[in-house]
Amino acid sequence: MSQPRYSKDHEYVRPEGDIGVVGVSEHAQAQLGDVVYVELPTVGDRLAKGAQAAVVESVKAASEVFCPASGEVVAVNGRLENEPSLINEDALGEGWIFKLRLSDNSELDGLMDEAAYQDFLKTLA
């Protein structure tokens, strides 16, 4: 499994060939608290980098999920409809939100690797 790349908005994309698995970071899910609802994108949606892709609602607030790279939605995690807490339990695994056919892999170069993301989080404290 390849390493995720992170945006400053706390989304990740984990490249798997020309597909990117997208979700929210461990930090984001911890800040959200208990996730109670996820509004998923629609398969076939074409999303630009930075566009709103989904909404995650928790007991604290609703938060927009922005697309960390451009592409076409090719799958959504339907389990989140009945099990939104998967985001809290396993944000980087079973709690993924959607999969995207990446239109420009070079966009991933502008995202942070794990070490850079951890350094970025330290600046928020």
Q: What local confidence, expressed as pLDDT, does residue 1 receive?
A: 60
Does the model's pTM come out above 0.85? yes
pLDDT tens across the length of the chain (125 residues): 689 999 999 999 999 999 999 999 999 999 999 999 999 999 999 999 999 999 999 998 899 999 999 999 999 999 999 999 999 999 999 999 999 999 999 999 999 999 999 999 999 97
Predicted pLDDT of residue 74: 98
Q: Residue 2's pLDDT is what?
A: 84
Decide: 95 and 89 in contact? Cβ < 8 Å: yes
Domain 5-122: state its class: mainly beta
